Amino acid sequence: MRATRRIATALLGAAALMLSACSSDDGSGSDDQVTLSYAVWDQTQKAAMDQLAADFTKGHPTITVDVQLTPWEGYWTKLKAAATGGDAPDVFWMNGPNFQLYASNGVISPNPEQVDTSVYPEALVDLYTFDGKMYGLPKDMDTVGVWYNKTLFDAKKVPYPKDGWTWADFQDAAAKLTDPAKGVYGTAASLSSFQEYQYNTIAQAGGYVISPDGKSSGYADPKTIAGLKFWTDLIQKKHSPDLKTMTDTIPLQLFEAGKLGMYWGGSWDVLEFTGNDYTKDKVDVAPLPKGEKQATIIHGVANVVGAKGEHKDQAWEFVKYLGSQPAAQILGKTGPIPAYTGTQTDWVGAHPELKLQTFLDAVNYAVPFPVSKNTAAWNEAELSHLTKAWSGEQPIEQAATELATDMNALLAKE
Amino acid sequence: MTTPRKHRVTEALWGYAFIAPTALGLGLFYLWPVLQTAYFSFTEWGAFGGHTFSGLDNYERLVHDPEMGRALVNTFAYTLLGLLSIPLAIVFAALLNRKMRGVSVYRTFFFLPVVTMPVAVAMVWRWLYNGDYGLINYGLSLVGVDGPNWVADPDTALYALVVIGVWSSVGYNLIIFLAGMQAIPADYYEAAALDGAGAFRQFFRITLPLLSPTAFFVSVVSVIGSLQLFDLVYVISGSGAAARANPAFPRLQTVVQLFYDRAFVTNDRGYGAAIVMALLLIIVVLTAIQFRLQKRWVHYA
């Protein structure tokens, strides 16, 4: 009996110790020393983020930052669960498709003061503005280009893509590069990344995905359909693998196996293609071809402040630092492209063998990533419908029109 | 001195005390969530919690949702075809239920897929099934057959899935059947042999009937497991928008996958709850039917 009581007392004591340990951790704000949590998803950027956090603490000795890495696969699920429990990190990475969901539900805070946003690409400032208020500051950016395999171009004596080339030039090159005997296709009309494929050609054709007020779908617009038809035509002419083949072996793998002449890819692919043994000395990049106009989708991550945090002032200080020129220069040494204008020279200079300036020049004609409050809902509808056109089951006009109907219904529910 | 009555009450109290830990766990982690889910199926959710009562809206939507219809057809087809694993397991169990060299090695081989992570299993099969570079189509090409894109072709995708499901469940079922066979007294076989029954006759007249209670258990468990199929499809085709880029997805989508997409991808938790409540109902009904039908074919020795 006495023994049990002694054990119970010991356990209680241990529990009390643990409790006090926890609370002392939380209460560090009481003596002006504050620890901010900063959630990020990219392992390759973890070191740069740690460096930024340390650099920030040098200027703000009372604030330390704890960089918390959650891999992409679980990032949004975890963040959503934490936000639902009122326990979101103080500062965290935000992307375009999720932004309005978090802003409209009051999970993130609008900026408490006006800052000079002319140093960032306008499309990114627009992307992170909701109901006239800006939330957080842009961290990095990415645009899209045409990566091409020089070896395959040389083999078919096709001239390399030039600045200002057009849809017709691209289609012509795709036809010439296609070699069924070798299993080589001119390009791949991928359906798994609208950011690199469909959204660009839709903008180039003069169409739109979602109206500026975010209330109606643009998929029934004939120009939008023209932007989609650009791709389905390539499949029909067999200048691109069919959808089944691209499902089994994704276009990126086909390109890295020398089976694709041209691959539409983001600026983030620099890391991939310079690290891959096959592509590292065979590829270069060109701007996207011109349709009715020249256009590329621009997207970028922003640092935002959680609305329910205890240290929102300090969190905003940190976000301002992350959006500053010195921070952008630290980021630019390792990639991705920093969003702050004029800090990108290091990024471009890292691989002089590639025309990386292409991605920066693209900012001048970039269009914003299409989003709304519940982007994920109609992103799914896009695939449900367009898959039928890509597989040849439905004409593209029909698939796109039906998609517009569904998407409008989903937007009406937001 | 205690009266018999008082004694019985004390005994009952002790009984409850003994089952309390399990009962509490069961109540807290199984029954309570089920009740909550049942309630949530009548509500509409915000992306970050908070819900409003919406009556039968979710169920009305469920009845008219073409995706739910497709998911049900696929799930039922998968469940039905997945039952193939039972006769296969019985045959293999009978073959392994003999005294021969290396029998434990064979048993281990058959059981390997069961202890392998389903995600790893699905990954490897995905490579095998690749239309252009997969081992299966390479094998077929040697005999002059141009194989399809197994999991990207609407005509083959579901069967390709069934093959993986059967392959990974045969081992588990086989072990249960082996145990069932070893519980059959050897005298029966000796008597049958004396009466002149050969191996086949013994199998059909003794082994199979006496194995029917085991077969019944296995069929109930596999039907429930098949109806809840998720991980295989998730690895083969992904979830949300990415999954729908696969032209065969309308033939791969299962009920639980649809639940996952609604509850966790498109932020539609109330509707997700309605989907799983419908699935729960289906499982209860199918299991009840199986218990009814067993009277016709299960022999308890």
Residues A150 and A249 in one domain: yes
Residues B132 and B187 grouped into a single domain: yes
Residue A167 maps to a domain: yes
Here the tokens at position A214 are 């975010």
DSSP state string for A223-268: HHHHHHHHHHHHHHTTSS--HHHHHHS-HHHHHHTT-EEEEEEETT
Structural domain span for residue B240 = 61-297
A380:B265 CB<8 A: yes
A329, HSE (Cβ side, Cα atoms, 13 Å): 5
Report the percentage of chain B scoring pLDDT > 70: 99
pLDDT for A79 equals 94
Tell me whether residues A374 and B267 touch, CB distance under 8 A. yes
Query: CB neighbours of B162 closer than 8 A, spacing ≥ 6?
Result: B78, B81, B82, B84
Same domain, A116 and A169: no
A95's tokens? 């992307």
Of A191, A249, A393, the CB nearest to B132: A249
The size of chain A, in residues, is 414
A390 and A245 within one domain: yes
Residues from chain A that touch B265, judged by Cβ atoms under 8 A, are 376, 380
Summarised one tens digit per residue, pLDDT across range A48-86 is: 999 999 999 999 999 999 999 999 888 998 999 899 888
Residue B199 maps to a domain: yes
Tokens of residue A166, six digits: 């057009």
B227 and B121, same domain (yes or no): yes
Q: In chain A, which residue's Cα lies nearest the Cα of B123?
A: A248
Structure confidence at residue B157 (pLDDT): 95
Same domain, A149 and A132: no
Residue A379 and residue A337 share a domain: no
* Helix (H/G/I), strand (E/B), else coil: A142: strand
The size of chain B, in residues, is 301
- Burial class, A319, CB count within 10 angstroms (exposed 0-12 / middle 13-18 / buried 19+): buried
* A151 near B CB under 8 A: no
Contacts of B129 in chain A (CB under 8 A): 248
Q: Are residues B30 and B111 in the same domain?
A: no
Whole-number Å distance between alpha carbons of A99 and A115? 19
Q: Does A377 touch chain B (CB under 8 A)?
A: yes
Residues A45 and A164 in one domain: no
User: Which residue in A212, A142, A140, A218 sits closest to A403, CA to CA?
Assistant: A218
A85-103 as b/e, with b when 16 or more CB fall inside 10 Å? eeebbbbbbbbbbbbbbbb
Q: Which domain holds residue A343?
A: 32-142+299-349
Q: How far apart are CA B278 and CA B254, in angstroms?
A: 13
Per-residue pLDDT 10s for chain A (414 aa) are 344 444 444 444 444 444 444 444 444 444 578 999 999 999 889 999 999 999 999 999 999 999 999 998 889 989 998 998 889 999 999 999 999 999 999 999 999 999 999 999 999 999 999 999 999 999 999 999 999 999 999 999 999 999 999 999 999 999 999 999 999 999 999 998 999 999 999 999 999 999 998 999 999 999 999 999 999 999 999 999 999 999 999 999 999 999 999 999 999 999 889 989 999 999 999 999 999 999 999 999 999 999 999 999 999 999 999 999 999 999 988 879 999 999 998 899 989 999 999 999 999 999 999 999 999 889 999 999 999 999 999 999 999 999 999 999 999 988
Residues of A in contact with B240 (CB under 8 A): 376, 379-380
**CA A249/CA B130 separation, integer angstroms:** 7
Return the number of other C-beta atoms located less than 10 Å from residue A401's C-beta.
16
Q: pLDDT digits over B81-94, tens only?
A: 999 999 999 999 99
ipTM of the complex: 0.81
B264 in contact with chain A, both atoms CB, cutoff 8 A: yes
DSSP bridge pairs for A368: A298
Does B48 reside within a domain?
no
**Is some CB atom of chain A closer than 8 A to the CB atom of B146?**
no
* A183 and A150 fall within a common domain: yes
In a domain, A356, yes or no: no
**Among A77, A192, A393, whose Cβ lies nearest the Cβ of B245?**
A192
Write the CATH number for B208. Answer: 1.10.3720.10
Shared-domain flag, residues B32 and B179: no
Which string of DSSP letters, residue by residue, matches A180-195? GGGTBEEE---SS-TT
Decide if A245 touches B, using CB distance below 8 A: yes
Contacts of A376 in chain B (CB under 8 A): 240-241, 265-267
Dist CA A323 CA A329 (whole Å):
10
The domain total for chain B is 2
Whether residue A357 lies inside any domain: the answer is no
Supply the CATH number for residue A186's domain.
Answer: 3.40.190.10
Is there a domain that residue A2 lies in?
Answer: no
Minimum-distance CB partner of B131 among A101, A248, A383 = A248
Please count the residue pairs, one from chain A and one from chain B, whose beta carbons lie less than 8 angstroms apart.
Answer: 84
Residue A261 lies in a domain: yes
Number of domains composing chain A: 2
Both A226 and A168 in one domain: the answer is yes
Find the residue in A nearest to B242 (Cα).
A192
Nearest CA-CA distance, residue B237 and chain A, Å: 9
Determine, yes or no, domain membership for A224. Answer: yes
Answer yes or no: do A68 and A102 share one domain: yes
- Whether residues A374 and B245 touch (CB distance < 8 A) is answered with no
Token pair of A363 as six digits: 């900012």
Concatenating the DSSP letter of every residue in B75-91 gives HHHHHHHHTTHHHHHHH
DSSP H or E stretch at residue B43 = strand B43-45
Neighbour-count burial of B40, counting CB atoms closer than 10 A to its CB (0-12 exposed, 13-18 middle, 19+ buried): buried
- Please report residues of B whose CB lies closer than 8 A to that of A101: 47, 267
Looking at residue A363, its pLDDT comes to 93
Task: Establish if A386 belongs to a structural domain.
Answer: yes
Q: What is the C-alpha to C-alpha distance for residues A122 and A139, in angstroms, rounded to an integer?
A: 13
How far is it, in rounded angstroms, from Cα B24 to Cα B30? 10
Looking at the fold, whether A164 and A246 belong to one and the same domain comes out as yes
B263 DSSP 8-state letter? I
* Chain B residue whose CA is closest to A377: B266
A42 occurs within a structural domain: yes
- Whether residue B216 is contained in a domain is answered as yes
Q: Cα–Cα distance between B120 and B114 in angstroms, integer?
A: 11
B210 located within any domain: yes
Same domain for A275 and A244: yes
Does the CB of A394 have a partner CB in chain B at under 8 Å?
no
- Among A49, A54, A108, smallest CA distance to A80 is for A108
